[in-house]
Structure formats: structure tokens, C-alpha cells
Amino acid sequence: MKILYRYISIKTVKYFFILLGIFSLIIISSQLLHLPSIVYYAGFIKFIQILIFVNLSFFKYQILFGFFIASLLTGLNLRENREIYAIYSSGITKNQLLFPVFSISVLFTLLALVFSLFIIPYANRERAIIITENVKKHILDSIVEKNFIKISEDLTIYVNQKKGDILKNVFIHNRKKGITITAKKAVLSQNSLVLENGYIQISGKEGFNLLKFKKYSFIVDVKYMKKYEFEDLDNKTLFSLLNSNSRNKAIAVLSDRFFFGIPFMFIGLIGFLIGIQLTKNRDSLVSIVIVISIVYLIINTYMVKMIQKGVLSPIVYGAFLLVYFGGLALYFYRKK
């Protein structure tokens, strides 16, 4: 019996990590196509961090689909290799066969809760910070010589020559502040320009003032901020908002995070039962699992929005998830 339990557990985990690797590769590749220039300006460490955080942002549903399909493939493998008949012939009951699947489901439920409550919100916040930093670097590095470049709504820069981070014959105009700066040389340093040997012209109602400088640090105001969503706030902040005007929104996010573990209590059993009991081909069975998951995602999104509007109780939301997945598990358990 222990050998069988170990076999089912190892098979499920093996399929899960294979699927997780495939999902991660697809997601990372698709996301990096949107931010090639931004990633270019990140150093190696930042580049690795971006890859990790981008992947973690979508990890919630990778775990869901990965575990569901892995359980299906494990059950299907037993049926296709005729091992399921040998198992039943040896006197092992369906309940005994499902025990290791249930044990793995408990572990995946805990894993899903950890990712939903802590890791994914943190990854989304960190990803926003890194993208913000590298977008600013990308915008500043886009300055080209002998062209007027509009860095922001109010800031325009002209450079006669540019070699790496060294700029020569620089012209800067800040429309909002009414300041014009000229310099023979400037060095680009993160979000600032270190100007050398130039003049600052400050416009006023009665004319303008002209100041000469040998060295002047000018902060380039690149007004870009990749903001993370309300849904990515940490749990402590969300709990503190329960007595504010954002109460319903906070409850909706917390409900979505805490109740994300409910499907994992059942999808392992559902997938495994579909695999060992339905005599359809592999593609059809995978399609059934995907449809069940998509229906859950659609209804889940709708219910979370309803909680956010204050027209649905989180208790009803949690009860629905239990009925939906529990009903499917019971249906496939009884199906012969």
C-alpha cells in the first residue's frame, strides 16, 4: 500500500512541476515581449528579479491549473497502463486509492494559501517598483543627440553630442518652472544630470535672472510610476481598512485570498477521478478540467466584484465554492 501511495504522490508532483515549468516559460516569454527595452536597462540581478516577480504574479493560476491537470494525468496514466484494474483486483478500495490524493490536496491547499496571502501580493508590489526604476532609466537613455526630446509634459532636452552618459552642449527647458539651462557638458547619473560650465535663466514677471555655474546637479523629473493595484496591498493594510470607506473593497480582496484554498481541497480528487473513470481520450479529459477551471475563474471574478460592491456576503461566496467543487467531486466519485 505504501508503495502505491508513494507512486501516486511522486507521479502527481512530477507532472505538476513539468506543467509549472511549461506555464512559467510561456508567461515569462510573453511578458518580456512587452518590456524588452526596460529589461535591457536592468542589471543582471534586477533582470533575474524581474523574471521571478513576473512569473510569481501569475503563479496563483499556474498552481491551480498545474495541480488540477497533474492529478488528471496521474489517474489517466493508471487507467491507460491498466494499473487501475490490478489495484482493484488486489482488494484496494476506491477510498484507499484516493487517500494519497487527499493528502497531497491538503499540502497544495496550504501552498496555495501561502502564495495567495503573502507571496503573490509581495511579488506584484516589488515588480511595480523595479519596472518604475527601469522605465525612468529607459526614458533618460532615450535622449539622442541633435534632437529635441520631450522627457515629460513640461521638460524638454536638447543635446548636441552624446557619448554614453556624457552629453555636450546641453539645452534644458522646464516650461512649468520657467527655467532654461544651458551647459557645455553634462553627465547622466540615474535620474539626474550633473551639469558643468553653464547658465541658468529664470524667467519672471519683470524679466529674467541669469545665473552662472561651474557645476550644477539637475534632477530630471520623469513622472512615471508603475502603480500596483489595491488587490496587491499587504494583509495588515487591508485589515486596517475594514473600518474605512474602502471596507467592501478590502473584504473582497481578503475573501479572494483566503478562499483561494477551497478549490485545492477538491480539484486533486476531481482530476484523479476523471482520469481513472472516464473512458475519453486525453485531450477530451484535459478539456473538461480546463472548462471546470475557467467556469470557476469567471464566477469567482464576478462574485468578488459583487462583494466589492457590498451586494454579496463573503459567506455566500465561500459556500458557493464549497458547493461547486464539492458537488463535482461527489458526482465523479459516484460515476461508474
C-alpha cell of residue 220: 530630471
Strand pairing report for 179-189 and 155-163: unpaired
Domain match, 133 and 280 both? yes
- pTM of structure: 0.78
Decide if 144 is inside a domain. no
Domain match, 238 and 296 both? yes
For the chain, give the mean pLDDT: 87
Domain match, 253 and 215 both? no
Decide if 225 is inside a domain. no
Domain match, 7 and 109 both? yes
Task: Give the domain range for residue 311.
Answer: 2-138+232-334
Residue 224 pLDDT:
46
Which of 166, 187, 219 lies at the terminal end of a domain, its last residue? 219
DSSP state of 176: T
Q: How many domains does the chain have?
A: 2
Query: Binning pLDDT at 50, 70 and 90, where does residue 153 land?
Result: confident
Residue 229 pLDDT:
76
pLDDT tens digit string along 129-141?
777 666 666 666 6
DSSP state of 90: T
Domain match, 13 and 157 both? no
Decide if 226 is inside a domain. no
Looking at the chain, the whole-number percentage of residues with pLDDT higher than 70 is 88
Query: Binning pLDDT at 50, 70 and 90, where does residue 261 land?
Result: very high
Which of 182, 198, 219 lies at the terminal end of a domain, its last residue? 219
Domain match, 94 and 12 both? yes
Query: Binning pLDDT at 50, 70 and 90, where does residue 230 land?
Result: confident
Domain match, 178 and 324 both? no
Decide if 243 is inside a domain. yes
Which of 197, 219, 241 lies at the terminal end of a domain, its last residue? 219
Residue 179 has pLDDT above 70, yes or no: yes
Decide if 224 is inside a domain. no
pLDDT tens digit string along 117-128?
999 999 888 877
Residue 36 has pLDDT above 60, yes or no: no
Residue 38 has pLDDT above 60, yes or no: no
CA distances from residue 163 to 143, 185, 187, 193, 197 in whole angstroms, order as listed:
11, 11, 10, 14, 18
Instruction: Tell me which of 5-9, 42-46, 162-166 is least confident.
Output: 42-46
Domain match, 38 and 164 both? no
CA neighbor of 216 nearest in space, from 231, 202, 234:
202
Decide if 181 is inside a domain. yes
Average pLDDT over residues 180-187: 91
